């Protein structure tokens, strides 16, 4: 049955006028040519995109950590800096999966390294002393933002050794992180990315390096091979052209 059907189809195609095959071939070649031009255009766009990100990367490397605390406090009409704000450009690239991503079965979109410094504890504590036998003792309790200090001091007569039991508790604090996408840079044609970190006034960011997936701020068109692109375009045009030509031939 299949053999008979094949002979019928072959006979039908063989009976088609020559001009039908010419039109079909022309449509297929035209589709392939148009697809080839489109593929070349996309390839050129990807080359330009890679160059743009290379320029952006150079800008990121040369970028320095900016302390925006005063300017933001002024803009928000604050009498004093309630929070510290630090900003730096983010490196945009294609993040590769690592062992942690595999373990969590997810894809990272942003990875960063942040170094912070907390204000030093430097103050003078005072407390009344008491006699405890041959020892002099004193107990201190004081809050010095962001530290709660408790200390018990025992000073025996010389040459005995004095002791101090000290407990210093740091206040819990929150740290805000904002990922920003600026307007398109006329030099690169892509949106620069940056990260803004805000902390309590007694926390200072000393270093900030962030890498993020470039699709966070810029949509990147997926690349495809020339052969796949040609097959998709030419094949579609060929199929449509064949149907049209066959219908014309039948009529």
pLDDT digits (tens, 9 = 90+) for 140-171: 999 999 999 999 999 998 888 999 999 999 99
Q: For residues 123 and 29, which has the higher predicted lDDT (pLDDT)?
A: 123
**Per residue in 180-201, pLDDT tens?**
999 999 888 899 999 999 999 9
Q: Inform me whether the pLDDT recorded for 70 exceeds 70.
A: yes
Residue 114, classed as helix, strand or coil, is: strand
Count of CB atoms situated within 10 Å of the CB of 243: 11
With left for phi above 0 and alpha for psi between -120 and 50, is residue 74 left, alpha or beta?
alpha
User: At residue 19, does pLDDT exceed 80?
Assistant: no
Q: What is the mean pLDDT of residues 59-78?
A: 90
Place of tokens 């997810």: 106
**Whether the predicted pLDDT of 39 surpasses 80:** no
Structure confidence at residue 6 (pLDDT)? 58
DSSP class of 215: G
Long-range residue pairs from 164-173, CB within 8 A, at least 24 positions apart, any chain: 168/121, 170/118, 170/146, 171/145, 171/146, 171/147, 173/146, 173/199, 173/200, 173/203
Q: What is the pLDDT averaged over residues 227-251?
A: 52
Q: How confident is the model at residue 32 (pLDDT cuts 50, 70, 90)?
A: low
């Amino acid at each position: 049955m299949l053999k008979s059907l094949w002979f019928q189809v072959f006979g039908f195609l063989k009976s088609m006028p020559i001009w039908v095959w010419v039109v079909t071939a022309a449509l297929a070649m035209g589709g392939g040519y148009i697809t080839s031009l489109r593929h070349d255009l996309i390839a050129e766009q990807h080359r330009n995109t890679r160059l743009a990100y290379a320029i952006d990367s150079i800008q990121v490397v040369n970028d320095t950590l900016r302390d925006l605390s005063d300017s933001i406090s002024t803009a928000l009409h604050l009498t004093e800096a309630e929070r510290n704000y630090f900003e730096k450009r983010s490196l945009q690239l294609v993040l590769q999966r690592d062992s942690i991503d595999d373990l969590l079965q997810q894809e990272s979109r942003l990875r960063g390294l942040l170094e912070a410094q907390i204000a030093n504890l430097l103050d003078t504590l005072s407390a009344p002393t008491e006699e405890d036998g041959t020892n002099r003792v004193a107990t201190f309790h004081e809050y010095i933002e962001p530290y709660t200090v408790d200390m018990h001091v025992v000073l025996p007569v010389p040459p005995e050794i004095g002791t101090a039991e000290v407990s210093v508790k740091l206040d819990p604090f929150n740290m805000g992180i904002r990922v920003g996408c600026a307007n398109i840079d006329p030099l690169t044609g892509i949106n620069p990315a940056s990260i803004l970190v805000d902390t309590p006034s007694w926390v200072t960011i000393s270093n900030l390096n962030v890498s993020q997936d470039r699709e966070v701020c810029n949509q990147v068109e997926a690349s495809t091979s020339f052969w796949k692109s040609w097959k998709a375009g030419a094949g579609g045009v060929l199929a449509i052209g064949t149907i049209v030509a066959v219908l014309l031939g039948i009529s």
